Amino acid sequence: MSTFRRLLGFLRPYRKDVVWSFALAAGAMVMTVLIPYLTGVAIDSIRDGTRHRLIFWTILIAVAGLGRLVLSVLRRLIAGRVSLAVEVDLRNGLYGQLQRLELSFFDRQQTGQLMSRATVDLQSVRFFLGYGLIFIAQSILTILLAAIAMFALQPLLAALSLAPVPFVILIARQYGHKSRPAVQEAQQRIAELTADAEENVSGVRVVKAFAQEGRQLGRFRHSVQRVFDQQMYATKIQAFYGPLISFLPNLGLAVILLVGGRQVIDGTLTLGQFTAFYAYLLMLISPMRTLGYMLGAAQRATASGARIFQILDREPRMTTPPGAPPLPEGRGRVTLESVDLTFDGNTRPALTGIDLDIAPGTTVALVGAMGSGKTALVSLLPRLYDVTGGSVLIDGADVRSVDLGSLRHEIAIVNDDPFLFSASVHDNIAYARPDATRDEVEQAARAAQADGFIQRLPQGYDTLVGERGLTLSGGQRQRVSIARALLAQPRILILDDATSSVDASTEQEIKAALREVMEGRTTFVIAHRLSTIALAEEIVVLEDGRVAARGNHNELVERSDLYREIVEKGMPDQVFMTRKPLEAEVAGL
Amino acid sequence: MTDRNERLNELRRRLKATSGRGRKLRGLAQLLSPYRWRVLAMFMSLVIATAAALAPAPLAKLAIDNGIKHHDVATLDWVVAAFMVSAIAYAVFSYLQTYLVGWVGQRALQDLRVELFSHLQQLSIGFYSRNRAGVIISRLTNDVEALDQLVEDGLATLIQSGLMLIGVVVILFFLDPRLALLTFIWLPILAIGGFLFRLASADAYRLTREQIATITGYLQETLSGIRVVRAFGQERKHIAKFAELNEDNRRANMTTVNLNAAYFPAVELVSALVTVEILLFGGIAALDGHTSTGVVFAFIAALNNFFDPIQQLSQLYTTYQSGMAALDKIFGLLDEQPELFDAPDAIELPRIKGELRFDGVSFRYGKDDDGAWALRDLDFVVPPGQTVALVGETGAGKSTFAKLVARFYDPTEGSIQIDGHDLRSITAHSLRSQMGIVPQEGFLFSGTVRENIAFGRPDATDEEVHAAARAVGADRFIEALDEGYDTQVGERGVQLSAGQRQLLAFARALIADPRILLLDEATSNVDVHTESLIEQGMRRLVAGRTAIIIAHRLSTIRHAGRIVVLEHGRVVEQGTHDELLAREGYYWRLYRDWAEQAAA
């Protein structure tokens, strides 16, 4: 109930409009109910044989029709605007909240789940608030008014002929309950079928290479059959309930004919009243159904609302004290003081007791096996996560005490599988500085060795990339994202396996360029290639979330067994024949 | 099964023989023809259900005029009994009709999907390179859905509403021709108004659907890229952009709100006006004794049956349009001819020994003569069991070379032979079932690890799957997965690293025990441990087979029995590592450059 009431709260800013649309709906309904009544009176005047009274009543019907027109148009215009406004509010509210929540929230949520909150759940709430409430009010009002009119005309006949009404409402509601999951399941299976088709189209070379066309066809046929079965299940529900719901009101009509007919013969009912009864029942058929469906929709909206509130009610855990100062000026000194980090939902710490002090302008290489905590460590600097214990200081300021925006502005990360937005190459590079000129963008791209291939794209820097644009290869995306990081002119640059998909010679060129650009900035490098590691002035070896050793290359070769092992196995043996980037081939194959 | 294939071939033949709209409708009819008895039953139910739905109005008239007015209770009872019979008949036959329409429509679309899919499988790789995957997929999904609408909603509505409308017109005409004509003058107004409304709102709805898709896409994207958003502190920019998209959507939606607000109340008004008209003229006529009160009553009772079908019919046009557009695209796809097919006298390739011969092979993509040569004048023989490393810059023709061996394309000139058989003279199935292909990006299908390894040999036992995984060194990481060999991978399962996918692709190739192996070595960097696993796995894989490797790693190239250096589609050097270094040519220069870098 409280969820329901909170849902109604979304209508509060539009209280006046809501009241208006209810009032207008009520007025329109009164007109609607008047029409059969007037029709009955008019028919009686035929029997009375008075022409001017017939004309009078029919004119009243026309007036009622016109009145209804005006009221309905106004109601629809107002209610439609409210509905759209609520939709915008809901969506912006949810999106704003998602952008406020800390990153670890997203680690534990599947994107698909969040998407379904923001689409399916939001849709059902919006539909209910925008239309459902009015439909329910309208239907109840119609049924009530018609029932009152019928009881006023003839109580016994009214009671008999209205008997099917509650059943129709209940059955319509049940129909909604049954058919909705069935239809959803059918859509789910169609989605699976689509995924199947997708896989077979993208993997067509593998299918052909292994000569497995027959088996894949069999699998596809199975998916198609699953869709068919579910569609038929949904069809059966529809075939059963649809006619049943149409049938029940006919019972009422038959009662009117049978009982009402006799009453007309007895003289206890006029033929006009008889007509009015008949017309009322016909008129009630659609509100009965609507009411049934809408009651179901109300339930769904409440359930959806509860799920949306789960997100809206979640307090952002990563907060900055109000009025926090910006990150103080500095050259990028990074200090970690006995830092512990355990990710939400994990028991094993990712980092334990890390103490590091990195002088400004140093290039630091982080080395260690997968899962040793390299990425966890660097994600603490821009405060993507908060430490569980200890503190992270940049130029002397605890990252938790400064304005988050100013902190992140000074730190740029490039990782091994960089994400590009569906926008032009220019916009992607200028992501952190949308006001950057084309010259600046090109300069950053040149430093990242990306300018060459970008020039060769169909529309150069204006080529649309990302999910809805041209697919770039891993190496190309990495270079675009390096350019993106460089353009941000950060105090601290983090390269997390950033050149893993770039071939060796291009990597050397990138590094040469980086050395210039990063002069005087602090750089963290995570890499597997010895050539990259050896470039660093300082190497930190991580093992199981602890610092196992640190020093320069020569010191570590002597001191650390772990480092020696990495060095011996990590000879730069690979990718020597590929002098030019492979992207064209990867994208074309 | 063969019956079905024959039928589908017949369908395709007929579709090609005809053209234009007639062709499309005939194609639809052809789709439905195997289920003609059910289609017939469907039509029967439709007719009966419609007739039953029409019955109440004239029955009510009978009840009034013959029963109530004559104080004849017996007649009244009979009429009510008939009324109940028609109500029950309506319920029963609309059940049948709904069921049958659903069955026939879904079955026909199921056939069409399977037909499209199997046609797609026959198309050559060239087709897939020319067309974007999204477009091809949408033929199988969106376009078939649009057709679903046409077949299920469109057809049923057309028939049901059409019959209903005709029925009402006939009944009303019999009841009172003059009153009927007065009612019918509204018909064209309603029909044209409804049609215009649908046209206008179809555009508006399409626009809002697009807007919603944009919003959903934006949401999806910024959620997937949330780390980047956070890392660069761009939350506010996205919130503003999102609000802007929402505003656009609201504006587009406003059009539909306005259209609906104008149209539906107008229809209601017309219905009130028709009531007024009937009462006025019918009433006066009844007063004058020209007609009966029962007739006036029946007209009013029948009004709903008159308005609903017009509404629904006016909606049909948009369904028809989108369905026809979908049919166009679907038939366009069915018209695509496979470019490579088995020769009529193609033989089954016997078990391959592994000798591969290129005989004056030249190749260019596309059919036009002015295209650049991707490969030119290749002549050489690979003896059985040799490992050949292809080396060269991007665009030198390495991938093309591999594609020709797999017969994804036929050479433009010359011939390629395996054990003396021209590839064009043998069946594609017998060739590829003896060939292992390991692409650069290890593509996995959704399914378990086990299913992916056994992809080329679905009947492989668990032992064989495990043995293959062990042989290429994939067993350790597989066993460390939550559900081992039963772990779901691919798009709908866990994400594997590039190195892990590569190892699975090795195991998949190994278990098929191919006689010839085509391997496109991955270029991406993996950690040191996986690197050495891949190196060992690859050695196990090529042992004892003829192997063509598009090589990027020095260790691979060093171990190859022969290195073929390609440049601009031509072979510039061949030999072993040591021979080529001694020659101090192209390969030697590559090696020298690399060594300098490694030292840096």
Q: Residue ranges of the alpha helices (H) in B278-344?
A: 283-287, 293-335
Whether residues A99 and B235 touch (CB distance < 8 A) is answered with: yes
Across the beta sheet with B421-422, the strand order is B375-382, B356-363, B413-418, B421-422
Binned at pLDDT 50, 70 and 90, residue B372 comes out as confident
Which residues, in sequence order, are CB contacts of A23 under 8 Å at separation 6+? none
Among A59, A95, A127, pick the best mutation site for testing chain B contact (most B Cβ within 10 A): A95
Whether residues B394 and A194 touch (CB distance < 8 A) is answered with: no
Question: How far is it, in rounded angstroms, from Cα B595 to Cα B156?
Answer: 74
pLDDT tens track for B425-451: 888 888 888 888 887 767 788 788 998
pLDDT tens track for A322-364: 888 999 988 889 999 999 999 887 788 889 999 999 999 888 9
Which residues, in sequence order, are CB contacts of A274 under 8 Å at separation 6+? A40, A256, A260, A261, A263, A264, B64, B68
Q: What is the pLDDT of residue A573?
A: 42
Binned at pLDDT 50, 70 and 90, residue B500 comes out as confident
Which residues, in sequence order, are CB contacts of B210 under 8 Å at separation 6+? none
Whether residues B529 and A369 touch (CB distance < 8 A) is answered with: yes
Task: Decide: A494 and A414 in contact? Cβ < 8 Å.
Answer: yes
Which of B125, B253, B523 lies nearest to residue A503, judging by beta carbons?
A: B523
Binned at pLDDT 50, 70 and 90, residue B21 comes out as low
pLDDT tens track for B191-234: 888 888 888 888 888 888 888 888 888 888 888 888 888 888 88
Tell me the Cα Rg of chain A.
35
Closest CA to A229 of B539, B460, B102, B231: B102
Among A88, A576, A580, A583, pick the best mutation site for testing chain B contact (most B Cβ within 10 A): A576
**For residue B227, what is the enclosing H or E element?**
helix B226-231
Q: State the smallest CA–CA distance between residue B203 and chain A in angstroms.
A: 18
Closest CA to A174 of A285, A299, A296, A291: A296
Question: How far is it, in rounded angstroms, from Cα A378 to Cα A519?
Answer: 20
**For residue A543, what is the enclosing H or E element?**
strand A538-543
Q: State the smallest CA–CA distance between residue A382 and chain B in angstroms.
A: 7
Whether residues A257 and B63 touch (CB distance < 8 A) is answered with: yes
Closest CA to A197 of A176, A227, A173, A167: A227
Residues in chain A, pLDDT under 50: 571-589
CB-side neighbour CA atoms (13 Å) of A308? 29
Question: How far is it, in rounded angstroms, from Cα A494 to Cα A524?
Answer: 5
Q: What is the pLDDT of residue A531?
A: 66
**CA B182 to centroid of chain Cα atoms:** 50
Residue A527's closest chain B neighbor by CA? B527
Q: Is the pLDDT of residue B555 over 80?
A: no
Model ipTM value: 0.80
Q: What is the pLDDT of residue B334?
A: 84
Among B279, B291, B405, B520, pick the best mutation site for testing chain A contact (most A Cβ within 10 A): B279
Q: What is the pLDDT of residue B524?
A: 59
Task: Decide: B249 and B183 in contact? Cβ < 8 Å.
Answer: no
Task: Decide: B553 and B499 in contact? Cβ < 8 Å.
Answer: no
Token readout for A383 is 């405060």
Whether residues B264 and A422 touch (CB distance < 8 A) is answered with: no
Task: Decide: A420 and A480 in contact? Cβ < 8 Å.
Answer: yes
pTM above threshold 0.90: no
> Judging by DSSP bridges, how do beta strands B387-391 and B562-567 pair with one another?
parallel
A396: left (phi over 0), alpha (psi -120 to 50) or beta: left
Can you list the pairs that B281-290 forms with residues at least 24 positions away whose Cβ atoms lie under 8 Å? B281/B178, B281/B179, B281/B182, B282/B176, B282/B179, B283/A42, B283/A43, B283/A45, B283/A46, B283/A54, B283/A58, B284/A51, B284/A54, B285/B176, B285/B178, B285/B179, B286/A46, B287/A46, B287/A49, B287/A51, B287/A54
Which residues, in sequence order, are CB contacts of A234 under 8 Å at separation 6+? A179, A182, A183, A185, A186
**CA B116 to centroid of chain Cα atoms:** 8
Q: State the smallest CA–CA distance between residue A188 and chain B in angstroms.
A: 13
pLDDT tens track for B30-63: 888 889 899 899 889 988 998 898 888 788 888 8
Q: What is the pLDDT of residue A579?
A: 35
Strand partners, A470: A465
Which of B77, B227, B445 lies nearest to residue A199, judging by beta carbons?
A: B445
Whether residues A51 and B284 touch (CB distance < 8 A) is answered with: yes
Q: Is the pLDDT of residue B491 over 70?
A: no
pLDDT tens track for B286-341: 888 888 888 888 888 787 777 888 878 877 777 787 788 888 888 888 888 877 77
Q: What is the pLDDT of residue A570?
A: 53
Q: Output the average pLDDT for chain B.
A: 83
Q: What is the pLDDT of residue B123?
A: 84
Question: How far apart, in Å, are the Cα atoms of B274 and each of A28, A284, A285?
Answer: 18, 20, 20
